[in-house]
Amino acid sequence: MDSYARVGLCFDVLDAGPLDAEVVILLHGFPATRMSWDAVVPALTGAGYRVLAPDQRGYSPGAQPAGRLAYRMKELVDDVLALADAVGADRFHLVGHDWGGAVAWALA
């Protein structure tokens, strides 16, 4: 998968590793993109994980809604849950850096 959709927004996502493996979702910080995880992904896929690293709301060209309310924590958390649903992951490991860490903390 190279993207997923939620509430009319289209999020770019890096998807690497075996499709049937345990899922690890990596959330980037501010201001960064999914590419900030490029050095980490090979280690995780090498360990047998499926890695999903989305460009979070505001960073994907198709997911840049206007207005502050579109960036509430609940929206950011629901974006991550929609990604997990899109790949059929009932459970997943979650890693966040910087602002991605705040989103991961809110989701946990």
Residue carrying the six token digits 């999020």: 11
Q: What's the average model confidence in pLDDT over 2-15? A: 97
First-last CA distance in the chain = 24
What is the amino acid identity at position 24?
Answer: V
pTM: 0.96
Q: Please count the structural domains in the chain.
A: 1
Residue-wise pLDDT for 11-65, tens only, equals 999 999 999 999 999 999 999 999 999 999 999 999 999 999 999 999 999 999 9
What CATH number should be reported for the domain holding residue 28? 3.40.50.1820
Residue-wise pLDDT for 91-105, tens only, equals 999 999 999 999 999
Q: Which residues form the domain of 88?
A: 3-107
Give dist(CA 28, CA 67) in Å, integer: 21
